[in-house]
């Protein structure tokens, strides 16, 4: 079916169908009434005549009752102003009414006015026109002709056009529709450029000649299945003009890809929708009457540059550039407003969302009992209890500040049932720059300065609440101070409905800030009666973050479920991977440069090398970062790299940031780099960089020199402004500016600190902003000890580059809380003291008695443990001996339980409803007292370990080679516990275990055969420990020290050792148990490092090499290592691989065998195609396919993530394989559909 038939019978029918019947309510207008300069004068006249009859009558009289003459004059008046506007939305927003012939003439009526609601808005006339031809000409010279499929008009004023394509005719919006729009635009530019050679004055008519493209709100291309959107196509004029006039002129076809890159698809809410559902959803989003109004009022504005003079912002010029939402940005904003409408529509139905969830589960086919189980679970979550919440996961660089501004602007005037839905819109930020960006954006959006204010103290906050000011910007650091302001605001605030827009919610939803915010939300609730039922009038919270934690998702995300599990997802999502693929940001992991600065270690004074095995010697990593010689080397490297590389990037505008571990280190770096840089700039080649600033920013405290002093008395705000305005520069930071600081000219990030997880993503995102075509990459230079950031960054990117999903299980955590609560109640301190503490905690004498009693009991527990250890050591007793004394410390065990309890209830707070007794204030304070006394006693009983001294190394620093996992080779010689590198999943841990066994083999304590069995057994032990969920949760809890975790690890390992008593198949079991005991600390470190990878499915503890293969000759430890390597990456043996494929898939294949050749023949033919030479462009995939198949089918230890990667590689080569098959059958390559295009199987089929 051709597009004309689809266009007329479906598209136009839908556009012009009445709104109450599901259409968009446009009027179909004949193309003959459209003027060549893109107006429908008759419709413009009709709108004014019907909506403003008195005005029209007076105007008509002035034109001698000649309607056509009046319509033409009015059109020309509008055209004059429109051509000077960036686009039609900007024009109408600024000119809803104009003065024409002394009369006020309205061109557009807005909706939802306080007096008339939508009455005036409904008088606007929206028109759609098919196949309207337009000739672009200069005088009588035709430059180009264009005939859009559908054009859109508002009150006779052109809005934009759409190109339609028909998939049944082999044409798509992606391949053909976009190309048609781009080709028309570039052909017009080329024709204008060629005319310029004859008539240089022709460019004065550019605005009118290019109006059909440049003045459109957007241009679209659709095939009903997909719709693509182009905004601001005029941005390509200068590039195209230069391309056509350059020394080597480009063709239209050569420039088309440049435009296609910005021609993006519009998202749909569900990919399961059919074509008509998709098309109509997108048309509503782009062309419905209310959405066109939003385009005019909210989504299009001009961004100007401002500078502050005497505290007041002034424009640097009146030339700005158009800001309008990308498809995904608009989709997100509209999605937010759609959910808000739904929330308000059903606010008086408390069970609406529960019932909605029930229907969703029924549609998924989940059994009834399971549904009710999920419903009960969902109702225990705090999510949406205090506020309606929406969590947006938007990648850094996506334009969150614009989205916050667009959303705030809509909420400011959003009316529901004739009244403003929200009394106040409160924007909560925690970064200086965003506050400044929002301030500038609101000025650009024409939001009157009197409509928003920043609450900087109690008085400004109260003033804002008490006034007509609609938008309040609040600094999260000052949010705690606002509690007093809330109390002072009194009843007025409690009666308000407030919308909160919170930037970087992953940071403001934790700790003290979060609790204060929850208190505020609770206080803002207003209850009212509906039919005798009390309903909470809920406020709205919209949180924005690129890196939501699992707890954040559980608090503010969306509840989803499958047959077997439930999870939480963001309300809307635009990930880092999407932003990188769409070209909006750079990939910050593409260039990570490890710069290693070796250091040496020496034993503490008085300790001999022979003592190392018998005493505890630790390495304090901070000593490494504090080492002055190391800092001097890094500073020299940074200065050299700045002037030789960084400052030459981005056409000479590159800048850099250095992030360090502490304020003292930042200050030392500042002085060292400043001195080295000054000397460097004395060299002739680098004098041009001498004025580039070396700035420093950190949070001031009383212990250190203030930032302003170091920066020459300049305030932080001014330092940042100067850095942004400078051509080059370096800014040194500790924690500030590592999140939310947007300076597109930042090219290089130097790291002399360790980052991981959310912090890693936020930090590296400072340099991945696009600036212009000359910013082609960004660099991360990792100077951290052992270059651990290389692995940490890649791990964090894997975790947060896609949509983050939380499977956080608070129900299990709640059960653990109940269990520990009972254990704490059964403990001796509770039994002896708690009941009296409840009654007498204000009695000084009682408190002193209780403290003495608790201290005495704790000391007794330590003494008993010490006595037991001494008894066992003096008598050389093992746990299996009858006289062995258990080395138990009940006080420590209780302290660990209390710590785990506090950690769990913090995790559950505001996420999951548990009995209020678990949060009882007196109960918690009692255990805080216990912990304080325990810490005092424990500190007296802990022997301080010896510490390695860190000294300078003679080894030269330099850029080092680092494995894919980030484990570096250039960190110096570590002590027994030196450094904390990221561990490569499984491969690394197997190597470390093998290293332990190799030492035993070299000392003749273990044969290679025994080492193979012991390797397998250690893997089984790790699986045993991993199954202990309570310990694993403890091991991952940052509230506990490594020493505390190691104590718990030894307990679990001891249980495993005891379980070996029943293993009759295990030869030399006692020697194995002794080996576990001797190497407990190393095994603990190996287990802990790999635990995260195992739980994420990236690895496992399968160390069994007995089935990997055989070795020839005598079995040796080297042969065992070879087997371990082959377990991870098996050798390629085509015969074995073929056999494995046949064995694996024979059963699945049997149902098809009557229609096809046998599986043996299919597999043989498959490899024959791979092995038969053809064309070099096709044969390149052979080795990749074989390697991927070998890994998927033969590698026993392959993780789920690696399997997915190799399967993806197979899928990507599938089409090339079929092309090769085509070539082998036909003796020629697959033909292309059109000359210059790649061949596709889709076309051939």
pLDDT at 401: 82
Q: Highest mean pLDDT range out of 56-65, 339-348, 507-516, 1184-1193? A: 56-65
pLDDT of residue 1061: 74
Average pLDDT rounded to a whole number, residues 533-538:
55
Q: Rounded to 5 degrees, what are φ and ψ at 836?
A: -70, -35
Q: How far is it, in rounded angstroms, from Cα 1041 to Cα 1047?
A: 10
User: CB of 594 within 8 A of CB of 956?
Assistant: no
| In the predicted structure, residue 1242 carries a pLDDT above the cut 70 | no
Rounded to an integer, what is the distance from CA 521 to the centroid of its chain? 26
**967: pLDDT confidence band, cut at 50, 70 and 90?**
very low
Res 1234: pLDDT: 55
Q: Where are the domains of the chain?
A: 3-301, 326-574, 592-800, 810-946, 983-1128, 1135-1244
Least confident range of 795-799, 807-811, 1142-1146: 807-811
Where is 61: in which H helix or E strand?
A: helix 53-62
Cα separation of 238 and 234, whole Å? Answer: 8
pLDDT digits (tens, 9 = 90+) for 35-72: 999 999 999 999 999 999 999 999 999 999 999 999 99
Q: Where does the pLDDT of residue 950 fall: very low under 50, low under 70, confident under 90, or very high at 90 and above?
A: confident
Spatial separation of the C-alpha atoms in residues 340 and 412, rounded to whole Å: 13
Cβ neighbours of residue 313 closer than 8 Å, sequence gap 6 or more: 306, 307, 439, 440, 443
Topology of the domain covering 592-800 = Rossmann fold (3.40.50)
Average pLDDT over residues 867-896: 88
Q: How confident is the model at residue 4 (pLDDT cuts 50, 70, 90)?
A: confident
Q: Calculate mean pLDDT across residues 442-452.
A: 64
Q: Are residues 336 and 572 in contact, defined by beta-carbon separation less than 8 angstroms?
A: yes
pLDDT of residue 657: 95
- Lowest-pLDDT choice from 195-204, 464-473, 707-716: 464-473
Strongest mean pLDDT among 24-28, 441-445, 535-539, 1152-1156:
24-28
Q: What is the pLDDT of residue 260?
A: 93
pLDDT tens digits, 121-164:
999 999 999 999 999 888 878 889 999 999 999 999 999 999 99
Q: Give CA–CA dist 740/429, Å, rounded.
A: 10
C-beta of residue 428 within 8 angstroms of C-beta of residue 509: no
What percentage of the chain has pLDDT greater than the value 70?
83
Find the range with the poorest average confidence among 166-175, 775-784, 1173-1182. Answer: 1173-1182
Locus of tokens 């280190």: 665
Q: How confident is the model at residue 965 (pLDDT cuts 50, 70, 90)?
A: very low
The DSSP string of 366-397 is --HHHHHHHHHHHHHB-TTTSEEEEEEEE-TT
End-to-end alpha carbon distance in the chain: 18
What is the model's pLDDT at position 747? Answer: 94
Q: Residue 52 has what pLDDT? A: 95
Say what the pLDDT of residue 50 is. 96
At residue 868, the 3 state secondary structure works out as helix
Q: Residues 148, 163: contact at Cβ < 8 Å? A: yes
The answer to whether the CB of 69 falls within 8 A of the CB of 28 is no
Residue 877 has pLDDT above 50, yes or no: yes
pLDDT of residue 1027: 82
Cβ–Cβ under 8 Å, residues 696 and 673: no
**Angle at 1074 (CA atoms; ends 1072, 1080), nearest 5 degrees:** 100
- Looking at the predicted structure, is the pLDDT value of residue 527 above 60? no
What 3-state class would DSSP assign to 1029?
helix
pLDDT surpassing 80 at residue 229: yes
Q: How far apart are CA 298 and CA 118, in angstroms?
A: 18
Helix (H, G, I), strand (E, B) or coil at 1235: coil
Could you write out the three-class secondary structure of 1144-1211?
Answer: HHHHHHCCCCCCCCCHHHHHHHHHHHHHCCCCHHHHCHHHHHHHHHHHHHHCCCCCHHHHHHHHHHHH
User: At 241, is the pLDDT very low, low, confident or very high (cuts 50, 70, 90)?
Assistant: very high
- Two structure tokens written together for 1221: 């098959």
Say if pTM beats, i.e. exceeds, 0.75: no
Residues 6+ apart with CB under 8 A from 731: 655, 656, 657, 658, 693, 695, 696, 697, 723, 737
Amino acid 987: pLDDT: 59
At 232 the pLDDT is: 92
Model confidence at 526, pLDDT cuts 50, 70, 90, reads: very low
Region 984-1002: what's the mean pLDDT?
69
Task: Please tell me the predicted confidence (pLDDT) of residue 942.
Answer: 67
SS3 at position 751: strand
3-state secondary structure string across 216-236: CCCEEEECCCCEEEECCHHHH
* pLDDT single digits (tens) 373-384: 888 888 888 777
**Cβ–Cβ < 8 Å for 576, 398:** no
Query: β-pairing, 779-782 with 592-596?
Result: parallel
Q: Is 326-574's fold the same as 592-800's?
A: yes
Name which of 73, 109, 104, 72 is nearest 92 in CA terms.
109
Strand residues in 668-771 grouped as ranges (E): 694-697, 729-733, 746-752
Burial 1085-1099 (b: 16+ CB within 10 A, else e): bbbbbbbbbbeeebb
Poorest-confidence range of 224-233, 496-505, 600-609, 1065-1074?
600-609
Q: How confident is the model at residue 984 (pLDDT cuts 50, 70, 90)?
A: very low
SS3 of residue 569 by DSSP: strand
Q: Which of 1011, 972, 959, 963 is nearest to 990 (CA)?
A: 1011
Q: What is the CATH number of domain 326-574?
A: 3.40.50.300
- What are residue 559's DSSP bridge partners? 568
CA pair distance 1105, 1050, nearest whole angstrom: 26
What pLDDT band is residue 483 in, cutting at 50, 70 and 90? Answer: low
What is the DSSP-derived secondary structure letter of residue 787?
G
CA distance 867 to 1026: 32
Rounded to an integer, what distance in angstroms lies between the CA atom of residue 140 and that of residue 307? Answer: 47
The SS3 assignment for 417 reads coil
For residue 214, give the DSSP letter.
H
Contacts of 678 (CB under 8 A, 6+ apart): 690
Residue with tokens 């009991």: 857
pLDDT band at 237 (very low <50, low <70, confident <90, very high): very high
Q: What average pLDDT does the segment 364-389 reach?
A: 82
| pLDDT for the residue numbered 179 | 95
**Which token pair is 414?**
């959003």
pLDDT exceeds cutoff 70 at 1021: yes
CA dist list (Å): 925 to 859, 1119, 1157: 21, 60, 76
Tokens 């032990």 identify what position?
1021
99 vs 954, higher pLDDT: 99
Q: What is the mean pLDDT of residues 231-256?
A: 92
Tell me the mean pLDDT in the region 84-98. 94
Q: Given pLDDT bands bounded at 50, 70 and 90, which one contains residue 477? A: low
Q: Return the pLDDT at 1235.
A: 53
Kindly report, residue by residue over 1056-1106, the tens digit of the pLDDT.
888 887 776 676 777 888 888 878 888 888 888 777 666 655 556 677 776
Q: Is residue 1144's pLDDT more than 50?
A: yes
How far apart (Å, rounded) are the C-alpha atoms in residues 519 and 264?
A: 43
Find how far residue 729's CA is from the centre of its chain.
28
- What single string gives the DSSP state of each residue in 983-1020? PPTTHHHHHHHHHHHHHHHHTTSS-HHHHHHHHHHHHH
Strand, coil or helix: 429: strand
What integer pLDDT is reported at residue 522 of this predicted model? 45
Predicted confidence (pLDDT) at residue 531 exceeds the cutoff of 80: no
Q: Average per-residue pLDDT in the chain?
A: 82
Lowest mean pLDDT among 304-308, 519-523, 833-837: 519-523
Q: Which position has the higher pLDDT, 1237 or 871?
A: 871
**Token match 């048309």: residue?**
283
Top-confidence residue, 961 or 1077: 1077
Q: Please list the residues that pair with 730 across neighbouring strands.
A: 656, 694
What pLDDT does 476 receive? 61
pLDDT higher than threshold 80 for residue 847: yes
Percent of the chain with pLDDT over 90: 36
Among residues 624, 627, 642, the alpha carbon closest in space to that of 732 is found at 642
Which contacts (CB < 8 Å, 24+ apart) does range 1058-1062 have? 1058/879, 1059/1024
Encode pLDDT of 288-340 as tens digits.
999 999 999 999 988 887 776 776 677 777 778 888 999 999 999 999 999 99
CA 454 to CA 461: how far, in whole Å? 8
Phi-psi region of 651 (alpha: psi -120 to 50; beta: other; left: phi over 0): left
pLDDT tens across 97-116, in order? 999 999 999 999 999 888 88
């Amino acid at each position: 079916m051709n597009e004309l038939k689809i266009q007329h019978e479906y598209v136009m029918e839908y556009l012009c169908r009445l709104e109450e019947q599901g259409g968009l309510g446009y009027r179909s207008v004949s193309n003959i009434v459209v003027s060549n300069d893109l107006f429908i004068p008759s419709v413009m006249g009709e709108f004014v005549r019907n909506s403003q009859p008195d005005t029209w009558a007076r105007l008509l009289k002035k034109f001698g009752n000649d309607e056509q003459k009046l319509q033409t004059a009015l059109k020309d008046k509008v055209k004059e102003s429109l051509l000077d506007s960036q686009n039609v939305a900007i024009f109408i927003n600024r000119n809803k009414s104009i003065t024409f012939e002394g009369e006020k003439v309205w061109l557009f009526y807005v909706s939802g006015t306080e007096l008339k609601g939508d009455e005036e808005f409904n008088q606007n006339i929206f028109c759609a026109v098919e196949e309207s031809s337009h000739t672009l000409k200069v005088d009588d010279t035709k430059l180009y002709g264009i005939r859009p499929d559908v054009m859109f008009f508002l009150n006779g004023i052109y809005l934009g056009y759409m190109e339609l394509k028909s998939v049944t005719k082999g044409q798509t919006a992606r391949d053909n529709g976009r190309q048609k729009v781009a080709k028309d635009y570039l052909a017009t530019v080329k024709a204008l450029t060629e005319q310029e050679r004859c008539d240089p004055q022709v460019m004065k008519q550019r605005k009118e000649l290019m109006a059909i493209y440049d003045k459109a709100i957007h241009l679209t291309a659709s095939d009903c299945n997909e719709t693509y959107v182009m905004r601001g196509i005029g941005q390509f004029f200068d590039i195209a003009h230069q391309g056509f006039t350059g020394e080597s002129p480009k063709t239209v076809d050569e420039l088309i890809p440049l435009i296609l890159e910005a021609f993006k698809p519009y998202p749909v809410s569900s990919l399961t929708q059919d074509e008509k559902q998709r098309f109509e959803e997108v048309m509503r989003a782009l062309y419905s009457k209310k959405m066109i109004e939003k385009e005019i009022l909210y989504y299009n504005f001009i961004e100007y540059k401002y500078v502050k003079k005497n505290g007041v912002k002034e424009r640097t010029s009146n030339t700005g550039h158009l800001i309008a939402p990308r498809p995904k940005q608009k989709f997100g904003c509209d999605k937010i407003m759609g959910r808000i409408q739904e929330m308000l529509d059903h606010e008086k139905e408390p069970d609406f969302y529960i019932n909605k969830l029930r229907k969703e589960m029924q549609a998924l086919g989940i059994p009834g009992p399971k549904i009710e189980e999920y419903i009960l679970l969902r109702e225990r979550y705090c999510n949406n209890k205090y506020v309606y919440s929406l969590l947006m996961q938007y990648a850094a660089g996506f334009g969150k500040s614009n989205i916050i501004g667009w959303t705030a602007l809509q909420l400011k005037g959003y009316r529901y049932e004739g009244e403003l839905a929200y009394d106040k819109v409160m924007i909560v930020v925690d970064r200086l720059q965003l506050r400044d960006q929002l301030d500038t954006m609101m000025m650009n959006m024409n939001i009157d300065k009197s409509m928003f204010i920043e609450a900087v103290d109690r008085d400004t906050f109260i003033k804002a609440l008490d006034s007509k000011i609609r938008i309040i910007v609040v600094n999260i650091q000052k949010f705690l101070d606002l509690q007093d302001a809330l109390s002072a605001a009194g009843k007025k605030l409690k009666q308000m409905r407030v919308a909160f827009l919170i930037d970087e919610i992953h940071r403001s939803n934790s700790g003290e800030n979060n609790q204060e915010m929850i208190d505020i939300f609770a206080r803002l609730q207003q209850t009212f009666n509906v039919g005798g039922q009390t309903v909470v009038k809920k406020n709205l919270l919209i949180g924005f973050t690129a890196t939501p934690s699992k707890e954040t998702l559980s608090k503010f995300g969306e509840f989803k479920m499958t047959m077997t599990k439930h999870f939480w997802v963001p309300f809307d999502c635009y990930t880092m991977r999407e932003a990188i693929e769409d070209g909006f940001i750079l990939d910050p992991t593409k260039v990570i440069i490890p710069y290693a600065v070796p250091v040496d270690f020496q034993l503490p004074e008085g300790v001999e090398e022979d003592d190392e095995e018998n005493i505890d010697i630790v390495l304090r990593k901070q000593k490494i970062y504090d080492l002055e010689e190391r800092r001097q080397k890094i500073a020299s490297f940074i200065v050299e790299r700045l002037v030789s590389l960084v400052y030459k990037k981005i056409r000479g505008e590159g800048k850099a940031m250095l992030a360090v571990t502490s304020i003292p280190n930042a200050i030392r770096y500042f002085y060292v780099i400043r001195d080295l840089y000054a000397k460097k700039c004395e060299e002739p080649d680098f004098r041009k960089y001498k004025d580039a600033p070396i700035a420093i920013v950190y949070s001031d405290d009383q212990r250190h020199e203030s930032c302003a002093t170091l920066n020459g008395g300049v305030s932080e705000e001014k330092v940042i402004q100067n850095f942004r305005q400078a051509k080059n520069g370096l800014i040194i930071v500790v924690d500030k500016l590592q999140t939310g600081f947007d300076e597109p000219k930042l090219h290089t990030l130097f790291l002399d600190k360790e980052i991981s997880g959310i912090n890693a993503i936020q930090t590296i995102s400072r340099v991945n902003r696009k600036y212009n075509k000359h910013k082609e990459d960004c660099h991360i230079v990792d100077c951290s000890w052992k270059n651990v950031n290389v692995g940490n960054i890649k791990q964090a990117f894997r975790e947060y580059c896609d949509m983050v999903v939380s499977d956080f299980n608070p129900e299990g955590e709640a059960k653990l809380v109940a269990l520990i609560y009972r254990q704490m109640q059964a403990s001796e301190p509770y039994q002896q003291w708690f009941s009296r503490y409840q009654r007498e905690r204000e009695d000084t004498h009682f408190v002193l008695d209780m403290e003495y009693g608790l201290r005495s009991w704790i000391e007794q527990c330590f003494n008993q443990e010490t006595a037991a250890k001494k008894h066992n050591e003096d008598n050389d007793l093992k746990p299996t001996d009858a006289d062995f004394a258990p080395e138990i410390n009940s006080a420590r065990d209780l302290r660990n339980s209390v710590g785990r309890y506090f950690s769990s209830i913090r995790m559950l707070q505001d996420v999951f409803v548990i009995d209020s007794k678990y949060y009882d204030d007196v109960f918690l304070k009692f255990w805080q007292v216990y912990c304080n006394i325990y810490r005092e006693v424990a500190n007296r009983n802990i022997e301080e370990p010896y510490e390695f001294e860190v000294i300078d190394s003679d080894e030269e620093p330099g850029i080092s080679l680092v494995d894919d996992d980030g484990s570096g080779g250039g960190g110096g010689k570590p002590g027994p516990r030196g450094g904390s590198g990221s561990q490569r999943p499984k491969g690394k841990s197997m190597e470390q275990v093998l290293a332990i066994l190799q030492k035993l083999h070299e000392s003749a304590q273990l044969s290679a055969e025994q080492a193979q069995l012991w390797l397998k057994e250690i893997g089984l032990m790790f699986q045993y420990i991993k199954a202990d969920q309570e310990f694993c949760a403890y091991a991952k809890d940052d509230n506990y020290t490594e020493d505390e975790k190691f104590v718990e690890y030894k307990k679990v390992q001891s249980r495993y050792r005891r379980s070996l008593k029943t293993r009759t198949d295990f030869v030399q079991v006692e020697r194995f148990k002794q080996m576990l005991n001797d190497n407990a600390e190393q095994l603990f470190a190996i287990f802990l490092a790999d635990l995260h990878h195992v739980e994420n499915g990236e690895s496992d503890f399968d160390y069994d090499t007995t089935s990997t293969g055989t070795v020839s000759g005598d079995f040796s430890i080297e042969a065992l290592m070879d087997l371990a390597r082959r377990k991870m990456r098996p050798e390629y043996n085509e015969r074995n691989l073929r056999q494995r494929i046949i064995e694996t898939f024979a059963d699945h294949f049997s149902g098809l065998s009557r229609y096809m050749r046998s599986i043996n023949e299919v597999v043989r033919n498959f490899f024959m195609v791979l092995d038969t030479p053809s064309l070099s462009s096709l044969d390149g995939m052979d080795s990749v396919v074989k390697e991927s198949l070998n890994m998927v089918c033969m590698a026993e230890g392959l993780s789920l993530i690696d399997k997915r990667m190799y399967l993806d590689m197979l899928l990507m080569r599938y089409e090339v394989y079929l092309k090769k098959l085509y070539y082998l059958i036909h003796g020629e390559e697959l033909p292309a559909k059109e000359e210059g295009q790649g061949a596709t199987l889709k076309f051939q089929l």
